[in-house]
Amino acid sequence: MLRHLWLALAVWGAVHPMAYFLRWLSANGWDLPGLVDAWFVTDATRGLTSDLTIAAVTLTLWVLAEVAVRRNWVALLAIPATFCIGVSCGLPLYLWFRSRPV
């Protein structure tokens, strides 16, 4: 049951934030440097960006450390999910991979 919740949260963590990014990109043109600049417009967005970057790096180190021990190589897919989509997708996706039956 919990495993299904991890997968549902990973899907939600991919779709929900992406809707905001796509809306911004269609309103401002598909300008990725402009999108990154928007992450640093105010102290609030700068703080949130820093928080998510630290969380993404921490999750990456955790995934690498556990994959080295558990040899669950497919769990490495959580790393590109984290940096291409976000921590809101990468963390529950990793927990989904990690909770598979042994």
d(CA 73, CA 96): 13
Mean pLDDT of the chain: 94
pLDDT in tens, 73-94: 999 999 999 999 999 999 999 9
The answer to whether 74 and 97 are in contact (CB under 8 A) is yes
**According to the model, what pLDDT value does residue 32 have?**
87
Name the 3-class secondary structure at 86. coil
- Tell whether the model's pLDDT for residue 71 goes beyond 80: yes
pLDDT in tens, 14-33: 999 999 989 999 999 888 89
User: What residues contact residue 23 under an 8 Å CB cut-off, 6+ apart?
Assistant: none
Instruction: Return the half-sphere exposure (C-beta side, CA atoms, 13 A cut-off) of residue 45.
Output: 8
Q: If you compute the radius of gyration of the chain from its CA atoms, what whole number of angstroms results? A: 15
